[in-house]
Structure 1
Amino acid sequence: MTGLTIFMFVLSALLILMACIKADRVRSWRESVNPSAPDIPDAAFTVARIVLVVMAVVNVVLGFRGLAAQDTMDWSDEELTSAVEGATEALDGDVMYGDSLGTDSQADLDGDYARKVEDEIVEHGGGDAPGFGVDAAVVGRAMTDRARYRITASGAGKAFCMHVERTHDGYIETVAPGLSGDAAAVKLPKYTFEVSTRAGEC
């Protein structure tokens, strides 16, 4: 997209230069190439200049629109930095619950939580940032209670390292839907997350 925009700006400059060429110079060049060719009236040069200028203006407008479209499709370093800072603040101290069977699927650091990190960063991206393109890749092997994520985004040159530590804070007792009495009491494991992020690779 950037290459096409640059080409359009260069083309616009060439069209303006062509519009500025004097009629006498064009006539002289044409006569040297084909002496028997009929003379070109001044009105034709006027029309040609108008067409060239209009084409140049159209290219400039399309070029700026292309830059605006690219800005909405790619993350800048500033947008990613702000989004990561906001997501880190929102995730730090967050509480999640596992299930009663002890599989902890809702607190999976290798899968579900990585997607949660990505969604949180996108949510804190702001109005100009794209709503996609964020990647939270687990660095190394996610442990039971801690993991590191390499945060990147399409278009941004920066990378961030997010460290997540999960602490088991006991259980919360709840009632299973559709049951009553002692059988309805279910204990869910409670986890608190400590999240910190720094710029650079993990």
Structure 2
Amino acid sequence: MVVFTFVLAGLVVAMGCIKADRVRSWRRALNPSAPELPDAAFTVGRIVLFGMAGLCLYSAFQFMAVTANAEWSDEELASAVSQSVAEMNGMSGFGNLDGSEDDFDDENSRMIKDELIENGGGGAPQSGVAATPSEANKPSRASYTVTAYGASAAFCVQVERVRDKDDAQVIPGGLGREGSGGLPRHTYTVKHHKGEC
């Protein structure tokens, strides 16, 4: 898209640089009975064409800036991973109401992506991050390969989830009934290293 816009700007500038006498000779060859165009018409035409070329150049540079802001650099990803791991390590959270741990991969992956985007910094985009789970993941220990659009680096984030024995959150009962059951509480230990898992 950027190249097309630059080429379009070049063509418009070339059109604006054509001499008035050449345009008049083309008009006479194509339509001899057409009235002559005044020099003011060519001046206005050139102003319009050069204005359009300027607009094309401005659009091309804006598109280049948007494209650059949509990609992660290796440094941005490395910084975001380090900060995210530091924030997630020691964090605690609640499990599912029914006690199942079937969705632990989705939950951990979403948690990692959210932290990465939050810690990406002002120059990093707010999307384009992937946390791909390893095949051998278990609810208690899982590994995720973290990549980002535009960055060539990859990081392995390892998440250990330990269930706290005494810290289940009791769900209150409704309409004066006793609370029943509880949400299991987990504590996370998170580490990372450079490279895929």
Return the TM-score normalized by structure 1.
0.71
Do structure 1's residue 125 and structure 2's residue 120 form an aligned pair? yes
Deviation at 1:88, TM superposition (A): 1.4
- 1:100-152 per-residue CA deviation (whole Å, 9 max, x = no partner) reads 875457xx542211211111112223345443332211022212421111112
- How many percent of aligned residue pairs carry the same amino acid? 39
> Which residue in 2 is equivalent to 1:150?
145
- 1:41-81 per-residue CA deviation (whole Å, 9 max, x = no partner) reads 43333222112101101112222333344455x23224433
Q: What secondary structure does 1:111 align onto?
A: helix
Q: What secondary structure does 1:6 align onto?
A: helix
Query: Aligned partners of 1:123, 1:35: CA distance in 2, in Å?
Result: 64
Do structure 1's residue 165 and structure 2's residue 157 form an aligned pair? no
> Which residue in 2 is equivalent to 1:76?
72
- List alignment gaps of at least 5 residues for structure 1: none
Report matched runs for 1:18-33 at 5 Å. Answer: 18-24=15-21, 26=22, 30=26
8 Å contact from structure 2 (residues 101, 139) kept in 1: no
| Cα root mean square deviation, aligned | 3.7
8 Å contact from structure 1 (residues 151, 160) kept in 2: yes
Q: What secondary structure does 1:96 align onto?
A: strand
Do structure 1's residue 193 and structure 2's residue 188 form an aligned pair? yes
Report matched runs for 1:1-150 at 5 Å. Answer: 4-24=1-21, 26=22, 30=26, 34=29, 37=32, 41-71=38-68, 74-77=70-73, 78-98=75-95, 103=100, 109-150=104-145
Q: What secondary structure does 1:59 align onto?
A: helix
Q: What secondary structure does 1:114 align onto?
A: helix
Aligned residues: 191
Query: Aligned partners of 1:100, 1:59: CA distance in 2, in Å?
Result: 57
Q: After superposing the two structures, state which structure 1 stretch, 154-163 or 85-94, moved more.
A: 154-163
Query: Aligned partners of 2:111, 2:31: CA distance in 1, in Å?
Result: 77
Q: 1:63 corresponds to which letter in structure 2?
A: A
Q: What secondary structure does 1:140 align onto?
A: coil
Report matched runs for 1:177-188 at 5 Å. Answer: 177-178=172-173
Query: Aligned partners of 1:134, 1:188: CA distance in 2, in Å?
Result: 30
Q: 2:71 corresponds to which letter in structure 1?
A: W
8 Å contact from structure 2 (residues 93, 186) kept in 1: yes
